Copies of this chain bind each other. A is one copy, B any other.
Amino acid sequence: MYSISEFKNVFDPLLEEFIGEKLEGFNSLTTDAFIKDFVGHTKKLVLGGKRLRPYLAFAMYKAYGGEEDEAAMKLFVSLEVFHMFALVHDDIMDKASTRRAELTEHKFILEKLKGFGDFPHIANSQAILVGDLLMSWSLDNFRDNEDFDNVNFEKAREYFYKMIDEVILGQMLDVDTATKENPGQELIDEKTRLKTSRYTCVRPMQIGAALADKNYGDEEFLENLGTKVGVAFQMQDDLLAIVGSTESLAKDILIDVEEHQHTFFTNYIFENGTSKQLTEFKKYFGRKLSDAEKERVKELFEHSGAIDAGKDVISKMLTQARQLVDKSNFEDVYKEKMKELVELMEKRQA
């Protein structure tokens, strides 16, 4: 069984080949160099990324006895291409500038635009379309083939489309929380459950398990395990967006705060910060920040205790994930790889 970095080495050529073929087909439809250029930016965007979703699907595919490694990986290419679609659209909504050490799609297009019109709107429009293209490529690829049992495949397919409804709803809640002064921990938990636990962990794991074994019935077990891992992953992400550096993260620092996005950490200040800390935080929440102001916001997260509280939750979640893995029926080799993954998450710096 592969570790996640070994997996990336085997998986990425399949992913790049897929994107390459789709781009070739698309490019054959037009002579417009400008459009080819900005659709071609997806080739760069695909290079980054940890491949967590296809890895989790593949790990469960193997743990539940799947044997068609290459066919399964090719199917799981859909998860990564779908994720690219989601990032392209999310980045428009979040007004993000960088992604995986590259310009986000809409920023890339904006920089290329010359001519008549409302450039930011036009760049966003084109980036919406690039996202649409990626979604259709992802769904096109998720199709039956002779390597899988039909019943298994249909079950996996059902999980895949459930995942799509859930992650879109999660993003709607995410956008919606940005319109609320203080949405509360319940709504934040709800969006984390959908956008991260289900999308990043639970559904990919269930897709892999169902594809391998039509009698797979551990829905609840994978829901539990995936939720622990997913919550920890999201909170790590949010934490790194506060304490990380732009270099190591390859995306914008404190953009959540600038964009009035609520996370565990912002909510902690609302619910547990002193009224002085909250008053000061509100001055910064939801607007562009200077570097000095960013430093001050970091301090507010520290001094309110949000950082320590968040680290505690992450550590608790990962401990529970380890216990679930230990108690599972997985063979030792899969237990080991899952625990390696948990450890990687614990040490994650970017």
* Chain A interface (Cβ < 8 Å from any Cβ of B): 25-26, 29-30, 32, 34-35, 39, 89, 92-93, 95, 113, 115-117, 119, 121-122, 124-126, 128-129, 131-133, 135-136, 139-140, 144, 161, 164-166, 168-169, 171-173, 175-176, 178-181, 190, 194, 260, 286
Assess whether B172 is in contact with A126, with CB atoms less than 8 Å apart.
yes
A305 to B29, CA, bound (A): 33
Assess whether B117 is in contact with A168, with CB atoms less than 8 Å apart.
no
Q: How far is the CB of A93 from chain B (nearest CB, A)?
A: 4
Give the dominant DSSP class at A's interface. helix
Closest B residue, CB atoms, query A160? B140
Closest B residue, CB atoms, query A85? B132
Q: Given that A136-B135, A139-B139 are contacting pairs, would A35 and B173 also be in contact in the complex, using a CB cutoff of 8 Å?
A: yes
Q: Please, which residues of chain B bring their CB within 8 A of the CB of A113?
A: 179
Q: Please, which residues of chain B bring their CB within 8 A of the CB of A124?
A: 124
Assess whether B175 is in contact with A125, with CB atoms less than 8 Å apart.
yes
Q: How far is the CB of A111 from chain B (nearest CB, A)?
A: 14
Assess whether A168 is in contact with B136, with CB atoms less than 8 Å apart.
yes
Assess whether A126 is in contact with B169, with CB atoms less than 8 Å apart.
no
Assess whether B125 is in contact with A32, with CB atoms less than 8 Å apart.
no
Q: Given that A35-B169, A136-B161 are contacting pairs, would A175 and B126 also be in contact in the complex, using a CB cutoff of 8 Å?
A: yes
Q: Please, which residues of chain B bring their CB within 8 A of the CB of A166?
A: 29
Assess whether B89 is in contact with A132, with CB atoms less than 8 Å apart.
yes
Assess whether B173 is in contact with A30, with CB atoms less than 8 Å apart.
yes
Assess whether A165 is in contact with B89, with CB atoms less than 8 Å apart.
no
Assess whether A29 is in contact with B116, with CB atoms less than 8 Å apart.
no
Q: Given that A34-B176, A172-B126, A175-B129 are contacting pairs, would A136 and B165 also be in contact in the complex, using a CB cutoff of 8 Å?
A: yes
Q: Please, which residues of chain B bring their CB within 8 A of the CB of A131?
A: 132
Q: Given that A168-B133, A179-B115, A286-B117 are contacting pairs, would A32 and B260 also be in contact in the complex, using a CB cutoff of 8 Å?
A: no
